[in-house]
Amino acid sequence: MRFRQPSLADDAGVVGYLVGVASTSDFEAWCEREWWRALRERYRLDVERREADAELVRSIHRPDRTSPAITGAFPAHFHIDLLPRAQGQGIGRMLIERLIERLEQRGVAGVHLGVEPANARAIGFYRHLGFTEVAVEDDGGLILGLRPG
């Protein structure tokens, strides 16, 4: 398997991604101004929907906000996903290390991410990189954090 950089693709196509922001609070404020308003107009609460769709529409009208207790110490956040054929090859580590380097260059104090508590493999991977548990969400999800440097 050959990976073409920086596209994170092999001969069969894209195998994953990492997206992140330096300031979760700023990103959530941007979403409120630029994204949620238009979606709320398009997807009103007073329209009949299947339950799964209704749940998504409710989340547009009441989006989750990250607690200042988390963003104060760990203002940045990211999401990463790799297909199984790309896992275990150091690609995830490389992507996260590059992100952390860039956050350090910008003077960002810390980064956080959410992980399902049942995902023991991912939790072990993040802990190996130095992430520690900083919070448990109402639904049981774990928030892990890391301070660069």
78-118 per-position pLDDT tens digit = 999 999 998 888 999 999 999 999 999 999 999 999 999 99
Kindly indicate the confidence band of residue 30, based on its pLDDT and cuts at 50, 70 and 90: very high
Sheet of strand 16-21: strand arrangement: 16-21, 76-82, 111-115, 142-146, 132-136
What single-letter DSSP state applies at residue 133?
E
The Cα 18–Cα 100 span in angstroms is 12
Dump pLDDT digits (tens) for 118-129.
Answer: 999 999 999 999
Range name among 5-14, 89-98, 130-139 with the lowest pLDDT average: 5-14
pTM of the complete model: 0.85
Compute, in degrees rounded to 10, the torsion defined by CA atoms 97, 102, 106, 110.
-20
Note whether 26 and 6 are within 8 A (CB).
Answer: no
Query: What domains appear along the chain, each with residue ranges and CATH number?
Result: 9-146 (3.40.630.30)
